[in-house]
Amino acid sequence: MEPMSNHTSLRIGGPADVFVMPQSLLSLKNMHVHLKKSQIPFFPLGGGTNILVRDGGIDGVVISFRSFKKIEVLSDDNTYVDVFVEVGTLLQRLVNFSLENGYAGLEGLAGIPGSVGGAICGNAGAFGYEMKDVLTSVVIMDAKGVIERFKAEEIDFGYRSSSILPDELLLSAEIKLKKDTKEEVSAKTENFLRMKREKQPLWEPSAGSVFKNPPGLFAGKLIDEAGFKGMRIGDVEVSSIHSNFFINKGGATASDFIRLMEKVAHKVKERFGVMLELEIKIVGRE
Ligand SMILES: Cc1cc2nc3c(=O)[nH]c(=O)nc-3n(C[C@H](O)[C@H](O)[C@H](O)COP(=O)(O)OP(=O)(O)OC[C@H]3O[C@@H](n4cnc5c(N)ncnc54)[C@H](O)[C@@H]3O)c2cc1C
């Protein structure tokens, strides 16, 4: 049993029955075949920065992709560069790699924690940049253990969503970045990072935005105007810096988090007639 609170940015979550970190594609494939044959449930984990794991923990096996962290330039012309990246790579390592080489396209993703795999599955984005915009293809192991490459156009991406299924394992991706100067990419990246630092409590344990922004509106503003800024249930607090971030003030539990979330959503619906939709994913058993 491995406490999932050790593997989530919220530092909340009961134990996973089994926690594994495969070191190679072959061991991942063998394990996947075995899990499927034995009907053992599994959960693919990236950086754990967009999930709330319930207090009862996770049934079956949590698969960490942390060992899959290769970044490699595949081809390069005067204008563009094609980069291969494995899903366990930290998104910020990829952002820094782009910055150091003067490759443009990821500047707005500066400061978003977690892995490249999680960023693709949830189409992470900020400041008008989205992961899907640089993606050219992905390699996925499907529920039958078949490994296949898909063009980015074959995956449906939406606002913080993709059509990648919960029982599919994303393995790697290719992205296309535009050649620019290091100074230009660096200046843009720094600027977005500064804006993010000003608006969000990046230093406190959270899972980022709890709710998606409803069309044309900001979830944080609605929560704020509904009177929840700084409100607390147990050790979970609505951030006083950004009301769509809920903070673990020390000993927070998933059930307190869910109670606060439901209270906020209920009040926002009552007050503004807007049904907030979750951005974070709630996983695990009660
Ligand atoms: C302080 C803070 C700021 C944030 N700011 C932003 C922001 O500006 N924009 C934004 O979009 N998000 C933001 N987030 C949310 C989060 O960081 C992103 O959604 C991130 O891309 C999630 O990546 P992860 O690796 O942590 O995914 P996880 O939380 O580990 O997983 C998310 C989902 O992806 C699935 N998954 C992960 N890897 C794989 C894989 N290899 N194969 C199959 N499925 C997989 C998981 O099963 C899960 O369903 C923020 C979070 C924090 C804590």
Report, at the CATH architecture level, how domain 71-199 is classified: 2-Layer Sandwich (3.30)
Which atom of ligand 1 lies at the shortest distance from residue 123's CA?
A: 11
pLDDT at 90: 98
pLDDT of residue 228: 97
Mean pLDDT of 100-127: 98
Domain 219-283 in CATH 3.40.720.10? The answer is no
Residue nearest to ligand 1 atom 50, measured at CA: 208
Distance 118 CA to ligand 1 centre (A): 4
Side chain identity at 285, as an amino acid letter? R
The C-alpha atoms of residue 148 and residue 267 are separated, in whole angstroms, by 45
Q: What are phi and psi of 96, to 5 degrees?
A: -70, -40
Is the confidence at residue 145, as pLDDT, over 90?
A: no
pLDDT for the residue numbered 252:
98
Domain with CATH 3.30.43.10 in the chain: 2-64
Nearest 10 degrees: Cα torsion 126, 122, 15, 264: 60
CA of residue 49 to ligand 1 center, whole Å:
5
Task: Report pLDDT for 143.
Answer: 83
pLDDT mean across residues, the chain: 97
ipTM confidence: 0.99
Query: Which class is 2-64 in CATH?
Result: alpha beta
Are 76 and 101 spatial neighbours (Cβ–Cβ below 8 Å)? no
Question: What residues are in contact with ligand 1 under a 6 Å CB criterion?
Answer: 9, 43-51, 65, 87, 112-115, 117-119, 121-122, 124-126, 160, 169-170, 200, 202, 206-208, 281
How do residues 225-283 score in pLDDT, each as one tens digit? Answer: 999 999 999 999 999 999 999 999 999 999 999 999 999 999 999 999 999 999 999 99
Q: Which residues of the chain are in CATH 3.90.78.10 domains?
A: 219-283
For position 236, what pLDDT does the model report? 98
- List, in order, residues 6 or more apart from 24 with CB less than 8 Å away: 67
* Average pLDDT value for residue range 52-78: 97
Model pLDDT, residue 144: 84
Give the residue range(s) of CATH 3.30.465.10 domains in the chain: 71-199
